Structure 1
Amino acid sequence: MHTIPQPQPDARPDERLRLSPLVLGLWRAGRVQLPRPRLVELIAASLDVGIDTFDLADIYGNYAGEQAFGDALAASRVPRDRVRLVSKGGVCLVSDARPAHRVKHYDNGAAHLRASLDASLQKLRTDHLDLFLVHRPDFLFDADELADTLRQMVRAGKARHVGVSNFSPSQQRLLAARLPELAANQIELSVLRRAPFEDGTLDLCQEQHCIPMAWSPLGGGALFTADAPDMQRLRTALAEVGEALGSATPDQVALAWLMRHPSGVIPVLGTTDPARVRIAAGAADLRLDRQQWYHIWQAATGCAVA
C-alpha cells in the first residue's frame, strides 16, 4: 500500500493553503449516489494512504452530494481536524431541488455565494471549509464585489482559504488584482487536456503562488479506454516510463506527469473505487526526469517539440 508523504509545515503554517498531494473528488460519487457504507469505505481508504482532502460542490448529486458525504463523514467518526474539505458554489442548475432556476446559469453575486457556502457548511456538518472555490466564472461577475465577498468569508472564519475554478488566466488575473490571496484555481488538466501548459494558466498560477488543482486528471478514463492509434501510442509511452520508474502503472505515471510541473499541480481523483485510490497514491512517490516528461508530451501530441 502506498502512503502519500504529507507536506511539511513552514514557519507560518496558518497563512498557506495545505492540501494533500492528491485530492479525492466526489463528483462521480454524487452522480451515482454512492451508498453511505461505500462512502465510508472510500473515506477510510483515502485516509489510509494519506489523501486527507475531499473535493465537493453544492451541485454534486443534484444538490444532494454534500449531505451524503457529510452524513458518511459523521458515520465514519473521523475527527474534523483529520480531513480538509473543499467545496464550490456559483453554478445554478435547473433542478427540482432549485425550483426558482428557470435556466442553467452562473451566479458569482454576493447573495448567492454566501447562501451556497452556508448551505455547504450545514450539509457537511462543519463550521468552516478549508477551501471555498467559485465554481465557474460568471460572465457578469463584478471583480470588486466578488473579491469583497470572498474576503468576508475568510474574515468570518467560514472559509480558511478561497479560490476559483475554471477561471481563464485573464479572469484569474482580474480577480487577483483585487484579491491577491487567491489560493487555488481548479482546472481541467491531463495529458489529454494540455492547454493550461501553453495558454498561460499554469504560468499565472506559478507567478501568483496559486495552487492548480487538476480535475479529470486521467481524461475521464478515456486515456485507458479509447482505442484510437494516438491513445495507444500514449499508453505505450506511459508504460515505458512506468517500467523505467520501477513498474509504476500507467495511471500513476499520468498523475506524476502532472505533479512534475513546478506550479505544484494537485490531481483531483474521480474514482469511487478504494483500490484505485490506493494505486493512485503511488504517483506521489514518482519523479519523472525531464526527458521522460517530454517523451510523454511527444506521445500525446504526436510530434517532437519545435
Structure 2
Amino acid sequence: MERVQLAEDVSLSRIVHGMWRLNDWGYSNAEVVDFIEDCLDLGVTSFDHADIYGNYTVEEKFGEALTLKPSLREKIEIVTKCGIKLISSNRPEHKIKYYDTGKEHIIQSAERSLINFQTDYIDVLLIHRPDPMMDPSEVAEAFTQLKREGKVKRFGVSNFAPSQFKLLNSYLDEPLVTNQIEIAATHLEHFEKGTIEQCQMDRISPMAWSPLGGGSIFTSTDDNVSRVRNVLEKIQGETGATSMDQVLYAWLLTHPAKIIPIVGSGKIERVKSAVSSLNIELSKQQWFEILEASKGKEVD
C-alpha cells in the first residue's frame, strides 16, 4: 500500500483504521488481534485512537489485545488524541465537558495512553479540539518534554482552523505533522475555509475523519445528499467501483493534498473496500461532478 511520510521518522498507511467504536463491535481481545492482523494483510498499518473513545476505555482494550501478540506493536503506528475532558463515570472529577491543553494535562494524558497501550511510545499525538484557553507556550513545553523523553515521536492537531494551526505551529521547535479534520464529499467546510490549502502550503497531509459523511449518503433523503448519491451511482458505473463508498474514498484520495481517510468500520470487508478504492482513478471532470452535486450549483 502507498504510504504517506509525515516526518522522517513517521509514516502512515494511506488508509488509516479508526478505533472509535471498538467497544460496539463486541470483539474479544483475541478477535481484536485477528482484526489488526487482517488490516496488516491489507497494508493498513495505522490505527487512530483518542483517550476519550469508548468512555475512556478503547485505548486500554486495544493495549490488552496487543499483549497477546507483542510483536504487532512494531508493525503498526498508533495515533491518539488528548485535550477533551468528558463527563464520565471513569473521570468523576470532571463536572462539565471542557478542554484542557495545559502542559500538565497533555503530559499526564500521554503517559496514561502509554500505560493503556502498554507501549513505550506513541507515533503521533494530536490535540483533539481547539481550546479557546490554549496557551501555545505550554503546549510547546509539553511536546518538547514528551519528545525528549522518547514518549511521543511526532505531534499534530485535530479540528483546527488554519489560524489556530498557524498559531500553535509558531511556538514549536518541530512543526505539526497533520491536522485531522472532517472531510467528505458531503462536508466541504475545510475546502471552503482554507484548511486544505493551508495543509498543502505547509506540506502536510490532512487525516479525514468521517470520510463517508457518517453514513448519511446511504440513508438520508436530504436533497443535497440525494444529488450526491445520484452522481456517485453514475460514477460507480463508469469506474467499475463495486460500491458508492469506494467512489467517496477515491474522491478524497484523488486530491493532491494527499488526504488520509480514516475507516471506522469493524467489518474487514469494509476495510477491504476502502483499500480497493486506491485503484480507482477519477477524472478531473468526475471529481468536479461530485463537488457540483454537493454544492448544488456549478463552480463559480
What is the TM-score of this pair, normalised by structure 2? 0.94
Partner SS, residue 208 of structure 2: strand
Q: Give 1:6's aligned residue.
A: 2
CA distance in structure 2 between the partners assigned to 1:77 and 1:119 by the alignment: 19
Between Structure 1 and Structure 2, how many residues are aligned?
299
1:6 Cα deviation after fit: 3.0
Q: Give 1:200's aligned residue.
A: 194
Gaps of 5+ in 1: none
Q: Give 1:130's aligned residue.
A: 123
CA distance in structure 1 between the partners assigned to 2:236 and 2:11 by the alignment: 28
Closer/same/farther in 2, CA of residues 267 and 247 from structure 1, 3 Å limit: closer
Q: Give 1:224's aligned residue.
A: 218
Closer/same/farther in 2, CA of residues 34 and 230 from structure 1, 3 Å limit: same
What is the TM-score of this pair, normalised by structure 1? 0.92
Closer/same/farther in 2, CA of residues 234 and 64 from structure 1, 3 Å limit: same
CA distance in structure 1 between the partners assigned to 2:298 and 2:8 by the alignment: 41
User: Which residue identity lines up with residue 257 of structure 2 in the other structure?
Assistant: S
* Deviation readout 1:26-64 (Å, 9 max, x if unpaired): 111145664324422321221111110000011111111
CA contact (8 A) 1:33 1:61 kept: no
Q: Give 1:25's aligned residue.
A: 18
2:95 aligned with 1:102, yes or no?
A: yes
CA contact (8 A) 1:107 1:138 kept: yes
Q: Give 1:63's aligned residue.
A: 56
* Larger relative contact order, structure 1 or 2 (CA cutoff 8 Å, min sep 6): 1
> Structure 2 residue aligned with 1:54, among 47, 53, 68?
47
Q: Give 1:162's aligned residue.
A: 155
1:14 Cα deviation after fit: 6.2
CA contact (8 A) 2:106 2:139 kept: no
Gaps of 5+ in 2: none
- 48-57 or 223-232, which deviates more: 223-232
Query: Runs of 4+ in structure 1 displaced over 6 angstroms?
Result: none
Q: Give 1:263's aligned residue.
A: 257
Partner SS, residue 160 of structure 1: strand
Q: Give 1:140's aligned residue.
A: 133
Across the aligned residues of Structure 1 and Structure 2, the Cα RMSD in angstroms comes to: 1.8
1:16 Cα deviation after fit: 5.3
CA distance in structure 2 between the partners assigned to 1:55 and 1:71 by the alignment: 16
User: Which residue identity lines up with residue 216 of structure 2 in the other structure?
Assistant: A
> Structure 2 residue aligned with 1:251, among 240, 245, 248?
245
CA distance in structure 2 between the partners assigned to 1:206 and 1:41 by the alignment: 36
* Deviation readout 1:137-190 (Å, 9 max, x if unpaired): 211001112122112222221111100011111100101111251001101111
